[in-house]
Structure 1
Amino acid sequence: MSNPRPLHQFLCDTAALHPSHTAVVEPGRGLISYVALDELSDRLRDRLVAIGVRPGDRVGIYLRKSIDAVAAIYGILKAGAAYVPVDPDAPPARNAYIMHNCAVRAVVMERRLEDRFSTEFFALGELPPLLLLDGTGGGGPLARMLDEADAQRPAAVTKNAMSPPEDLAYILYTSGSTGKPKGVMLSHENAVSFVDWCSAVFEPQPDDRFSSHAPLHFDLSILDIHVALKHGATLVLIPEERGKDALHLARLISEERISIWYSAPSILSLMAQFGDLHSQDCSSLRLVLFAGEVFPVKHLRTLCSQLPEPRYFNLYGPTETNVCTYYEVVPPVSDERTSPYPIGKVCEHLRGKVVDEHNAPVKPGEEGELCITGSGVMQGYWSLPERSAESFLVDNDGTRWYRTGDIVVEAADGNHIYRGRRDRMVKRRGYRVELGEIEAGLYQHPLVKEVAVVAVPDAEAGVRISAFLSSKGTDKASLIELKRFCAERIPLYMIPDHFKWLDALPKTSTDKTDYQRLKELG
């Protein structure tokens, strides 16, 4: 980067420029100014250093989305560590695996989650220090935890770490094909180059109000949080429990005067169908950004007809690159259009190429795999050197291209058109889902002999996931039991829509599971 600076410097600079401006709002639970957020994160920085956190360490965040969680992000970064957010609603065993896998030095978490998490973690290794909050909301629980810790042993005031560009800023765990989630390592340079690109394209202003719909462990949150706070804008947090309530979200845009909205298309589709947007004052909305999955054209048409004034951008990219291509959709969406819009051109801070199965570049108009290089591309997967190596195509000059696994066609105008996946990963409600991880979870059921999971396109949901099972005997688990079993092992967004017991799974001539046949049944 021409001006290397750590990710947390954005908050520090903004707190100096706009100290009294509202940084983060939790509707109904409080708000915090920039100077107060900066000071609260400073206090957490000092406490983390006092318990032994050093530059290069990892610190877990096991909190509901809140002002407390945002302050935790910046406190961890200021200590020179990388933050590792997990889904508080995911199975404790999965979160314990993630925290143990990346060897967190400490965890900032809610006390209500301690018992089950500790039990699961003890089965893997020695429990790291836990900084326990009595809840979340408005920053109060984090402040009280720090007050109590300081009363017992004051933490010395330290300076912010000036993390070099190559140091890790955060690790986001995504679904893994082996049945275990894998950690995507993103550096300060990766994050800052993306934030700077967003600044250039979307031109945020201090009077903007950003929605924060994505959970912290989802890569969409990087834009929500860090772009907003770089520019002195206000970040409006949307709790996960209200994230699919179309009427609530539509009212929130109106009541909170949201000007920049960012979410998966499935959420915008819900609002278009059930949000009664015509009755809401959404005149403040100037940008609608969506990413994570294909936006069904009929729902995008409805949304644009109800909200014709904002600019619409289709943002595409895996967690490993954050956003790597973008396309502006200009309303109205014609009635004749039935195919999804392109995923667009490669972002200016990156470069892309489309290659065939032999890694040779293809001509425009031909299908191939999209590969991306540049300052926004991840370092690799945590503690998975072989998987990391497999994920990159390396040129003779040493240039590393991340293989997205997405099949695209580059049109004559330079825009890329998405065709599908080359592996068994799908996008569902914006989340990345490895079908192999669902299978690995279901194989743990005592009645299951074989299992195969397939995904097929669905006009309403984007993708429908079906699980086919054969049993070891005559007993078969009920639908309710299977869903409950899955909920204890995988995140809710990964649970199949349908379960079907078969006498035996269909096989190919080489005695492999016939997934194509199952797709016909699914």
Structure 2
Amino acid sequence: MNNILEMLEKSTALYPEHPALSTGEAYLSYQEVTRQARCVGSAIASYTSVRKPVIVFMDHSMDCIVAFLGVVYANDFYSFFNSELPDERLRIMADTLDADLVITDVHHKEQATQLFTKETVITFDELVAREEDADLLSSIRSQAIDTDPLYLNFTSGSTGVPKGVLIGQRSVIDFIPIFDDLFHITHDDILANQAPFDFDVSVKDIYSTLNVGATLVLVPREYFSEPARLVDFLDEQKVTTMIWAVSALCLLSVYKALDYKVPAYVNKILFSGEVMPYKHLKNYMDHMPHTMFVNLYGPTEITCNCLYHIIDPSRDYSTYLPAGKPFPNERVFLLKDDKLVTEVYEPGEICVTGTALAIGYYRQQSAQFRQNPLADGYHEMMYCTGDLAYLNEQGEFVFRGRKDFQIKYLGHRIELEEIDHAILEDEHVTRSCSLFDQEKEKLITFYIGDIDKRSLKIALMDRLPRFMIPTKMIQVEDMPLNKNGKIDRKALMEVYKNANRRHR
């Protein structure tokens, strides 16, 4: 396979009338998705040359996925711009891309025209109405190769400028069939899409579906604030597979949605983005004993995931949940001072090599992509994740936290995640996020739970040394989430700082 479109075309040949994409109220068959994508691709080719970025500024919709595929038919690469982001950030992202074309929908056309003044802005409806040019598409495909770029997702940059992570065709072509085989995703599955399209969890949703001829159901955004309605929707759509962010799964658990109803058809739940709190995992396992649960690990820069662990129902995960072992054809190892870490329980930085690696950051250089120091005498690109881990006695990787979440406080090196882990051992706490105010040298913890701050501090004294007990504990009703569904640490720090200003 040299192009991800072969996944779509294979499934279209086998299951032309089968629903490929669905909203629960409407659907597009494989035959219709392919027809529309080819029309869109033919039109795009008249606006830009090959291997160029195309901005997709649309609602989270079936049309949006068709637009992605149309961009690929034109042998360009797509970047989804989330309309919920601030205008200034969107402009910075657009300046980085310097794209010729923006695809939008009627709902966002006015905003797109104001935001993207240097680019040609055209609606999806205009593109899909064009006639397919089969000869043009054939000519474009004949010149495409598997190292061509496929999509670009922006991540936060330490300088304040978002970094565009560019992923190539080969990375997805290699990863997705292995992913489907490992976790038994087949034509009979119905996947529920939770992740926004600028979060790479959605890459697994889209291409795992297309690869096997399954159905992808887009969960309405508003249902995530109504857990009972969300569970009803999963049941009504007969969803079998959930590849979701940890925070989204915790939402159902915190609000006891599984006590209301257990989704009857779900047999696979794969989660990533953060460490799954044990009490929430146990809650799911107690309610859904016959479901396969999988812990996934990996940053955007290595194409979705590089480590996985299938949960063993007979194993005790109360101490820690392993990130697991590498996916086939991915080399994952630990480095410390550029030396390979092989000793059990010795921490090191998680590093990755192989075809899963991103092409790199678009128009930016980074020391995180560099020569593998273990490759003697030949060039091998390596990505340094910035995440710390150790190997346990079973040879599994165990995540320890971010290098940048490791702080020095009162002369001690502390992992903020270790504090959260200890807090979450309390049965009255459902979520925890610890921060460090470097200026004032204070440890701060935000938590959700029905235990007062004083009692929680007393309980922590039995689990943590005194220097790890948070200076300030703030009880909240919910945690702010970023666009990727992870706890928004910056927003929490602002809450803390604003509270301090009011009390001056």
**Which of 83, 95, 98 lines up with 2:93 in the alignment?**
98
Match of 2:295 among 294, 298, 314: 314
What is the match of residue 49 of structure 1?
Answer: 45
Deviations 1:271-291 (CA, angstroms, capped at 9, x unpaired):
123253244352311111001
1:210 is paired with a residue of what secondary structure?
strand
What is the SS of the residue equivalent to 2:358?
A: coil
Write the distance in 1 (CA, Å) between the matches of 2:66 and 2:195. Answer: 17
- The answer to whether structure 1 residue 38 and structure 2 residue 38 are counterparts is no
Cross-structure match for 2:444: none
Name whichever of 302-311 and 277-286 sits farther off: 277-286
User: In 2, distance between residues paired with 1:145 and 1:50?
Assistant: 11
CA contact (8 A) 1:165 1:187 kept: yes
Matched, 1:18 2:15: yes
182, 202, 215: which one aligns with 1:201 = 182
Are 1:159 and 2:156 counterparts? no
In the superposition, relative to structure 1, how do residues 277 and 360 fare at CA in structure 2: closer, same or farther (>3 Å)? closer
Alignment deviations for residues 167-188 of structure 1 (CA, whole Å, 9 cap, x no partner): 1001111111111110111100
- Mapped to 1, the partners of 2:103 and 2:488 lie a distance apart of 24
Task: Output the CA distance in 2 between the equivalents of 1:219 and 1:113.
Answer: 23
**TM-superposed deviation, 1:114:** 4.0
Decide whether aligned partners of structure 1 residues 58 and 462 sit closer, same or farther in structure 2, where only a CA change above 3 A counts.
farther
Q: Which moved more, 1:345-354 or 1:493-502?
A: 493-502
Asked if structure 1 preserves the Cα contact closer than 8 Å seen for 2:370 and 2:382, the reply is no
- Quote the Cα distance in structure 2 between the aligned partners of 1:282 and 1:332: 23
Matching residue of 1:434 = none
SS in 2 for 1:40: helix
What is the distance in 2 between the residues matched to 1:393 and 1:499?
A: 42
Corresponding pairs, count: 434
Aligned partners of 1:408 and 1:283: how far apart in 2?
36
**Residues 192-214 of structure 1: per-residue CA shift (max 9 Å, x gap):** 11102112201222111011111
Q: Is the 1:315–1:326 Cα contact (8 Å) retained in structure 2?
A: yes
Displacement, 1:146?
3.3
Helix, strand or coil at the partner of 2:98: coil
Deviation of 1:386 after TM superposition, in Å, equals: 4.2
User: How big is the alpha-carbon RMSD for the aligned residues of Structure 1 and Structure 2?
Assistant: 2.9
Q: Deviations over 1:432-490 (max 9, x none)?
A: xxxxxxxxxxxxxxxxxxxxxx99847444535688999xxxxxxxxxxxxxxx99xxx
Once the two structures are superposed, what CA deviation does each residue of 1:304-353 show, in whole Å capped at 9, x if it has no partner? 1111111100000000112100001123675xx53231000011120111
The corresponding residue for 1:483 is none
Change (3 A) 1:469 1:399: closer
Structure 1 residue 5: Cα displacement: 1.5
Match of 1:173 among 151, 154, 160: 154
Residue of structure 2 in register with 1:340 after alignment: 320
| Aligned counterparts of 1:279 and 1:202: Cα–Cα separation in 2 | 28
Q: What is the match of residue 79 of structure 1?
A: 74
* Gap runs ≥5 in structure 1: 134-141, 427-453, 471-485, 505-522
User: Aligned pair in 2 of structure 1 residues 94, 469: CA closer, same or farther (>3 Å)?
Assistant: farther
Q: Which residue of 1 aligns with 2:313?
A: 331
5 Å-filtered alignment, 1:206-217, equals 206-217=187-198
Distance 1:376 1:355, change over 3 A: same
TM-score, normalising length from structure 2? 0.79
Unaligned runs of 5+ in 2: 408-415, 425-429, 441-480
Matches for 1:232-381 after TM superposition, within 5 Å: 232-280=213-261, 282-321=263-302, 322-331=304-313, 337-381=317-361
Letter in 1 for 2:176: V
The two structures have a TM-score, normalised by structure 1, of 0.77
Partner secondary structure for residue 497 of structure 2: strand
Deviation at 1:246, TM superposition (A): 2.1
Q: Could you give the per-residue CA deviations for residues 244-267 of structure 1, whole angstroms, max 9, x where no partner exists?
A: 432222112211111111111121
Cα distance in structure 1, aligned partners of 2:147 and 2:219: 32
2:123 matched residue in structure 1: 132
1:422 equivalent in alignment to 2:399 = no
In 1, Cα distance between equivalents of 2:90 and 2:173: 27
2:433 is aligned with 1:463: yes
Q: Which amino acid aligns with 2:23?
A: E
Offset from partner CA, 1:98-118 (integer Å, 9 cap, x none) = 122122221111344344444
Distance 1:376 1:500, change over 3 A: same
Code of the residue aligned with 2:383 in structure 1: it is Y
Task: Tell me how far apart the structure 1 counterparts of residues 184 and 344 of structure 2 sit (CA, whole Å).
Answer: 31
Distance in structure 1 (CA, Å) of the matches to 2:256 and 2:114:
42
Amino acid across the alignment from 1:48:
I
> Relative to structure 1, is the Cα distance of residues 377 and 462 closer, same or farther in structure 2, using a 3 angstrom cutoff?
farther
Q: In structure 1, which of residues 1, 5, 20 is the aligned counterpart of residue 2 of structure 2?
A: 5
> 1:269, CA displacement in angstroms?
1.5
AA partner of residue 271 (structure 1)? L
Q: Measure the CA separation in 2 of the matches of 1:391 and 1:26.
A: 45
Worse-superposed segment, 408-417 or 494-503: 494-503
Distance 1:241 1:146 in 2: 28
Cα separation, 2, equivalents of 1:243 and 1:273:
12
> Which amino acid in 2 is paired with 1:324?
C
